Amino acid sequence: MRKMLTFALLGGAVGAGVAIAKTTSASADPAAQEEGAAMKTVGGAAAVGAALGLLLDRRAKKRAKKVAKGAKVVATVAGMAKAAKPRLEHAIEVSKPRLEHAIEVSRPRLEQAAEATRDVALSAAEAARSRLSQAA
């Protein structure tokens, strides 16, 4: 509503300026006709300004609704994350001993696999060297 009134006043002022510009030009019309034409110009410009202000006002309200809706979604997600934080921390605390146990159990097997892989890689490298030396 504020934009509508502001633009109506602005349009009226522009219309008054146009009317003054028309009346100061060299014309020999009677004063009564000039006043009527000036009032029509001012009124038309004010009406156009009010319509433009109403249009902008409605667009601003729609945008404000969209922003408010987005803010509600963000607030909901933040609330859910805040509520889930203690549960996640508890899950981490509960799973920590099991993870440490799994690491301890798998460490010897991983070391054994690494040792076997290293032995196979060394023997493959030796075989490749011998083939290269025979080919040269």
> What is the torsion angle, in degrees rounded to the nearest 10, for the CA atoms of residue 128, residue 130, residue 135 and residue 136?
110
Looking at the structure of the chain, the number of domains it has is 1
- Please state the separation of Cα 74 from the chain's center in Å: 12
Domain containing 121 equals: 2-135
The pTM assigned to this predicted structure is: 0.42
Rounded Cα–Cα distance for residues 32 and 120 (Å): 112
For residue 118, give every residue at least 6 positions away whose Cβ sits within 8 Å of its Cβ, in sequence order, or none: none
Q: What pLDDT digit, counting tens, does each position of 114-134 carry?
A: 999 999 999 999 999 988 888
DSSP of 45-109: HHHHHHHHHHHHHHHHHHHHHHHHHHHHHHHHHHHHHHHHHHHHHHHHHHHHHHHHHHHHHHHHH
| Nearest-angstrom CA–CA distance, 44 and 8 | 10
Low-confidence ranges of the chain (pLDDT < 50): none
